[in-house]
Chain A
Amino acid sequence: MSQSTSAMGNEKIKSSRRKFLKSAATLAGATIGYSWLKSSQVLLFAAEPKDESLPWYGIVIDIEKCIGCGSCAKACKKENDVPIEPFFFRTWIEQYTVKNDGSVNIVSPNGGIDGFEQTVPDEDIFKSFFVPKMCNHCSKSPCIQVCPVGATYDSPEGVVLIDEKYCIGCRYCVQACPYGCRFIHPVKKVANKCTLCYHRLKKNLTPACMEVCPTGARMYGNLRDKNSELVKFLKEHTTQVLRPNLNTGAKLYYNALSSEVR
């Protein structure tokens, strides 16, 4: 008698377990099926369709024209809500002074926002010039390669951008950038850098730094359009990118760049 009750109990447990397993399997199967249906590229994230109809942005900075007024660095901070202090910059200017004895003096007080003063006496100067720096928007950028979560990327327009909602603030990219163009935003606590004023480009406005440059030392344009001002400039001048040996695919070209610039 007791035996038959326990057998019946086992039967019950077995059937309810079978029911549970069945419904669990259906649920899991449905979810998997849906996740495959939703995006068939689930395993193909690396494939990157290039849209030829969009511009592919490049930048030119003409060192001969830069007068070191700091308008670009100031406008950049104001446009992009980067705190004036502490001293983080999306774009900044460096003053290089090559002395007669061959030594090089590089200064960038407050990124150049308050202008520059030449501290080296005239008779010691062999040559001197300003170098504005900003993100090179590399097409093979080291910062994108090191991001562990895919929070920084090359947009279809060739602008290297940051996904602020996805960034975990791990600072790998800050270290990886050979040009020192990234920093951790002191308020948002995520990586931050020049976006070529992507929000302005989308509204058909020029980037803030180029809007305010008084001498036209900064230019941007479409590298795909062989008749654009930028491509014409590149054809007519001998330009150079920073650290070409690193093969970062930089798209920021400097005119009249001296070999002292690092």
Chain B
Amino acid sequence: MKLYIPPQLTRLALAFAIFISLFLVLRHFLVPDTFGQYGHYRGASLIDNAQPEIHYAGQQACFECHQDIQDLKAQDVHSEIHCETCHGPGQKHVLSGESSDILKPTGREFCGLCHAMNAAKQKNAVFQVDLKKHNIGKNCIECHNPHQPWEMKK
């Protein structure tokens, strides 16, 4: 017995087929190439995210030319503090070697960022001084060597 398919159904099926094809064609052009490579996102975006230039060179890069200062620093309480914590981003300076490309911090407020009295700082985390009492009127680095704080300058 021959199966009877009503003509409106065939037409409907045709319409569906056309719409689905159209959808797939549009999708083909609209979805970026690497979309879905690793998940529901553009795989090439991982490469984009790895692209930006670095500004902080990392402490190891400084040792190449400033081993003397590292040797000083390693002997004292600031040994765990990396150069760029105080000197700011150094990648430009590492590439150029120019002193104008790096910061040289000064002032009592700078040391105070870490050493000023604050009840929120845990007692054993850092040594705190009262900036309003500790040798006022003088810059910290006039007495303390920033790289070797207990090596007092005379």
Most buried by B among A118, A161, A214: A214
B119 touches A150 (CB 8 A): no
> In the bound complex, what is the Cα–Cα distance between A81 and B89 (angstroms)?
12
Given contacts A118-B118, A211-B58, contact A163 B45 (CB under 8 A): yes
Closest CB in chain B relative to A250 CB, distance in Å? 19
A122 touches B39 (CB 8 A): no
Interface residue A129 (Cβ < 8 Å from any Cβ of B): yes
- What chain B residues lie within 8 Å of A165 (beta carbons)? 42, 45, 48
Closest CB in chain B relative to A217 CB, distance in Å? 8
Q: Mark A58-69, 1 if CB is under 8 A from B, else 0.
A: 000000111111
Residue on B with the closest CB to A39?
B36
Q: Mark B103-117, 1 if CB is under 8 A from A, else 0.
A: 000000100111011
Interface size of A in residues (CB-CB distance below 8 Å): 71
- What chain B residues lie within 8 Å of A198 (beta carbons)? 49-50
- What chain B residues lie within 8 Å of A129 (beta carbons)? 120, 122
- What chain B residues lie within 8 Å of A212 (beta carbons)? 56, 82, 84-85
Residue on A with the closest CB to B46?
A155
Of the candidate stretches B5-13, B19-27, B66-74, B138-146, the one touching chain A is: B19-27
Interface residue A261 (Cβ < 8 Å from any Cβ of B): no
User: Chain A binding site: helix, strand, loop or mixed by DSSP?
Assistant: loop
A211 touches B82 (CB 8 A): yes
Given contacts A45-B39, A214-B80, contact A122 B119 (CB under 8 A): yes
Interface residue A225 (Cβ < 8 Å from any Cβ of B): no
B27 touches A215 (CB 8 A): no
13 A–B pairs (Cβ distance < 8 Å), ordered by A: A35-B24, A47-B39, A49-B38, A75-B85, A78-B56, A115-B109, A115-B113, A128-B118, A200-B54, A203-B54, A211-B84, A212-B85, A214-B82
Residue on B with the closest CB to A167?
B45
- What chain A residues lie within 8 Å of B126 (beta carbons)? 67, 214-215
Closest CB in chain A relative to B82 CB, distance in Å? 6
> In the bound complex, what is the Cα–Cα distance between A26 and B147 (angstroms)?
75
B89 touches A79 (CB 8 A): yes
Residue on A with the closest CB to B119?
A128
A28 touches B38 (CB 8 A): no
A116 touches B120 (CB 8 A): yes
A128 touches B120 (CB 8 A): yes
Residue on A with the closest CB to B41?
A153
B89 touches A156 (CB 8 A): no
> In the bound complex, what is the Cα–Cα distance between A69 and B80 (angstroms)?
15
Give which listed residue, A66, A81, A161, contacts B49 with CB less than 8 A: A161
Give which listed residue, B39, B54, B85, contacts A199 with CB less than 8 A: B54
Interface residue B125 (Cβ < 8 Å from any Cβ of A): yes
> In the bound complex, what is the Cα–Cα distance between A165 and B34 (angstroms)?
13
A75 touches B89 (CB 8 A): yes
Residue on A with the closest CB to B22?
A28
Interface residue A228 (Cβ < 8 Å from any Cβ of B): no
Q: Mark B77-89, 1 if CB is under 8 A from A, else 0.
A: 0001110110011
Closest CB in chain B relative to A110 CB, distance in Å? 12
B28 touches A67 (CB 8 A): no
Closest CB in chain B relative to A154 CB, distance in Å? 7
Residue on B with the closest CB to A200?
B54
> In the bound complex, what is the Cα–Cα distance between A77 and B54 (angstroms)?
12
Per the 8 Å Cβ criterion, residues 186-206 of A in contact with B are: 195, 198-200, 202-203, 205-206
- What chain A residues lie within 8 Å of B53 (beta carbons)? 199
